Every structure is written in structure tokens, then in C-alpha cells.
Amino acid sequence: MSKIITVAREFGSGGRQFARKLAEELGYEYYDKEVLTEIANNTDYSVEYIKSVVDRKPHSLFPISVGHSFSSGMDYQLQQMQSIFTAQYEAIHNLAGKSDCVFVGRCADFILREENPIRIFVYADMVRKVERCLEFRKEGEPDNPVEMEKLIKKLDKARAKYYNDYTGQLWGDKQYFDFCINTSKFDEKQLAVDLAKMLK
Amino acid sequence: MSKIITVAREFGSGGRQFARKLAEELGYEYYDKEVLTEIANNTDYSVEYIKSVVDRKPHSLFPISVGHSFSSGMDYQLQQMQSIFTAQYEAIHNLAGKSDCVFVGRCADFILREENPIRIFVYADMVRKVERCLEFRKEGEPDNPVEMEKLIKKLDKARAKYYNDYTGQLWGDKQYFDFCINTSKFDEKQLAVDLAKMLK
């Protein structure tokens, strides 16, 4: 059976960089956006469309009150979403079965819970997250701390909502993880190098 | 400046054994009950009396409603508690200033927060905690899983209450820690050996 590590993370915590380095150090496959490509290979949807769906709240199109009727257009959209979530579930299981690997995000800790993965959550203080996001700022992102903090909160709120709805668990609750790592005081890549030594 | 590590832990998680091994591996002083001895050395109270006070909820003797009057006996008890809490605060600071060290419990992560300690929280799934507690059962403790689980919950509830009242923070909230380590799948002493390598 392959060894599986899942990394969930707060936006700006350096969790993705940590995960990539961890995979590199251990010689494991690294799966992040690759999951979307795998879904696209197994369905008729484009990577862009899949991304637009899996970045949404999974149940946002369900009616709030029972008895509320869907329009037929809404029905179709819901069916598409459900088929993409099913495809995501299968893609993650397929990839996990191939070789030792590290997954970033995508509820992989939950989806693969029966496979006994090592589940890591990476987080940091807001001050440090803002600093890191400004340092590695992408085009179109805010250039000042106040607006960057707002963006981080907004993105993490969406992540939490997505995870909570999809899994029925509370996003970031330490009981669902083996290691929760705060990157505020440490370099995330060095942490990955050190943790890789522990897990070898 | 000395290097400080604080270890808070759930009952039955192996956190104390983890902390002792971590101190041993790093060659740091280890402070657990030693804090009580230090308080006793600096006050007129016995170790037993100090233990009975610091194991209590710190504000349990405060009146619930404003205007409620103390009896003079209650007043005296409250003064004693406050003097012991002050002595605990000073004892922990004194010990931390002497050499590199590991503290277990006693809100040391909060008391020493200005000294930039590495703050660790050790926890585990209930099933594993019950197993561990039954394996290392002390005289007078339950000998069956159901009663042991009740004891664990009771002791952790008291720990949480004490910590929350004393610090104004939420016990076990990962934002106040650098590493949260779940010992369910791992040997706590091996984890300490591995973490010591990271922190050296």
C-alpha cells in the first residue's frame, strides 16, 4: 500500500511550498492542480470548468427551504457539480493508489481517511501570513497589509465553508490531523526537510 | 537568553513522557512538579497545599454577582490563592531564566509568552488515550474503558477551565502553539527524539 500524506493549509501560511518540499525530500509524487487534470482526463469537462466548480461551495446551489423548486437550468448545473465532485473523489483515490504521494488541499485528508494518511495542517499568525502574501504577491492582489488581510480572511472563509460542507468536519480542527504546524517562526521549507527526516 | 519549550497536553496523550524525553534528548532542564517545589521554597506554603490550589480553578472563589459579600474566611482563602498564583508566575520565570528548559503544563506557554518559547500541544484520539491510561493505570483509577473515558474527560475539562480562566485564551487552540502533535498513531518518545533533532 502506498504511503499518503495530506496537507491542508491556511492561505499565506506557506503550506503549498511546505508540501512541495516535503514531497521532494521524500521522493513522493506531489498532487495539487494535477488532481484537476486527472478529473479532466476522466470526464468531458475542461480543467478551467472543473476548477471553477471545485473552488465553489459544494452545496451552494441546494435550495434553502424544502419544497423550493429548481429551474431546469439549475438542476443541470447541480448535476454537473455532483458529477465533478464524484470525479474528484475518484481521481484522488486513483492517484493515491499509484505510488507514495503528497496531496495539497481538496479535502484529501477526508477523502482518503480510510487509507490512513498522515494528515498535516499548516497555519500561521495573520501578521506573518500578510507579510508572506505581500512578499510573494501575484498580479491583481492587494499591495497593502489591510487589503491583503481582508483577502486572506475571505479566501480562508471560503476554504473553511467548502471543507465543512463537503466533509461535515470543522476545517482546521486539530483532532482531524496528526501534525498541525505553525510556520510563523520558522521557514516552511526547512520544516519540510526536518519533517521528512521524521517520516522516512 | 535561554531556550524555552513549553508542552501542554491532554490527559492520557503521553504528553508528559514526550516532554521528558524531549528534554533528555536536548539536554535541557525538565520542569513539571519541580515548579511546585520552587514555589514552596519561595513561600511559606507546603508543596501539598500549593498543589491543591494550583490544581483548582483560579477564579472559583470569586463571587458570581457583583455586590456579593465575602465572609472573612473566604477573603483569606482568596488572598492565599492569589499569592500562590503570583508565586507560580515568578517561579516559572525564575526557572526559565536559569538555563534551557522544557516546562510541562502550568500555563507556562502563556506565562512565558514574552520569552518566545517553542509551544507544543500534545493530544490524541479518545480511543488511544483510554488504551494508554489503562496500560499505565495508577492505583485508584478505573479499570474499564467506559469509566476511564469519563475520568479523562473530567480531568481535561478541569484543565481547560483552569487554563481558560487563568489565561483568557482557549485551551488547546492551535493558534497559541507552534506544533500540535497527535500521538494516536505514533510512539510519543520516538516523536520526542525526532522533534529534538529538528530543534537542535
B141-155 confidence digits (pLDDT tens):
999 999 999 999 999
A117: amino acid identity, one letter: P
* Contact between A178 and B184 using a beta-carbon 8 Å cutoff: yes
* Contact between B185 and A178 using a beta-carbon 8 Å cutoff: yes
Name the residue facing A194 among B175, B184, B198 (closest C-beta). B198
The answer to whether residues B188 and B135 touch, using CB atoms and an 8 Å cutoff, is: no
Q: Which residue's C-alpha cell is 531556550? A: B3
The answer to whether residue A170 neighbours chain B at the CB level (below 8 Å) is no
Residues 26-65, chain B, touching A (beta carbon < 8 A): none
DSSP chain B: ---EEEEEE-TTTTHHHHHHHHHHHHT-EEESTHHHHHHHHHSSS-HHHHHHHHTS-TTTTS-SSTTPPPPHHHHHHHHHHHHHHHHHHHHHHHHHHHSSEEEESTTHHHHTGGG--EEEEEE--HHHHHHHHHHTPPTTS-SSHHHHHHHHHHHHHHHHHHHHHHHSS-TT-GGG-SEEEE-SSS-HHHHHHHHHHHH-
Q: What is the CA radius of gyration of chain A?
A: 18
Geometric angle at alpha carbon B3, from A198 and B8, rounded to 5°: 65
B165 falls in which pLDDT band (50, 70, 90)? Answer: confident
The answer to whether residues B9 and B18 touch, using CB atoms and an 8 Å cutoff, is: yes
* Contact between A182 and B181 using a beta-carbon 8 Å cutoff: no
Other beta carbons within 10 angstroms of residue B174's beta carbon come to: 20
For B181, name the nearest residue in chain A, comparing CA atoms only.
A179
3-state SS class at A12: coil
The answer to whether residue B175 neighbours chain A at the CB level (below 8 Å) is yes
Which of A58-62, A185-189, B23-27, B52-56 has the lowest average pLDDT?
A: A58-62
B66 versus A200: the higher-pLDDT residue is: A200
The answer to whether residue B195 neighbours chain A at the CB level (below 8 Å) is yes
* Contact between B185 and A194 using a beta-carbon 8 Å cutoff: no
Report the candidate in A16, A9, A2 with the shortest Cα–Cα distance to residue A92.
Answer: A2
Name the residue facing B179 among A116, A175, A181 (closest C-beta). A181
The answer to whether residue B189 neighbours chain A at the CB level (below 8 Å) is no
State the average pLDDT over residues B109-126. 96
B109 falls in which pLDDT band (50, 70, 90)? Answer: very high
Name the residue facing A182 among B179, B185, B191 (closest C-beta). B179
The pLDDT of residue B66 is above 50: no
Domain count, chain A: 1
| Domain span at B158 | 4-199
The answer to whether residue A180 neighbours chain B at the CB level (below 8 Å) is yes
Name the residue facing B123 among A123, A174, A194 (closest C-beta). A174
The answer to whether residue B123 neighbours chain A at the CB level (below 8 Å) is yes
Residue B104: predicted pLDDT = 96
The pLDDT of residue A116 is above 80: yes
The answer to whether residues A18 and A9 touch, using CB atoms and an 8 Å cutoff, is: yes
From the CA of A134, how many Å to the nearest CA of chain B? 21
For A117, name the nearest residue in chain B, comparing CA atoms only.
B185
For B182, name the nearest residue in chain A, comparing CA atoms only.
A178
Element (H, E) at A154: helix A145-167
Chain centroid to CA A141: 20
Residue A65: predicted pLDDT = 34
The answer to whether residues A136 and A16 touch, using CB atoms and an 8 Å cutoff, is: no
Q: Which residue's C-alpha cell is 484529501? A: A108
From the CA of B162, how many Å to the nearest CA of chain A? 21
pLDDT tens digits for A58-107?
Answer: 444 443 333 444 455 567 777 777 788 888 899 999 999 999 999 999 89
CA dihedral A100, A105, A109, A112 (to 10 degrees): -60
Can you give the CATH number for the domain in which A9 is found?
3.40.50.300
C-alpha cell at A60: 451552494
A93: amino acid identity, one letter: H
C-alpha cell at A113: 481517511
- Beta bridge partner(s), residue B6: B103, B119
Residue B179: predicted pLDDT = 97
The pLDDT of residue B68 is above 50: no
ipTM value: 0.86
Mean pLDDT of chain A: 87
3-state SS class at A111: helix
C-alpha cell at A22: 516535503
The answer to whether residue A164 neighbours chain B at the CB level (below 8 Å) is no
Question: Which residues does chain A have within 8 Å of residue B177's beta carbon, measured at their own beta carbons?
Answer: 180, 182
Q: Report the C-alpha gap between A180 and A188 in whole angstroms.
A: 13
State the average pLDDT over residues B83-112. 91
State the average pLDDT over residues A144-158. 95
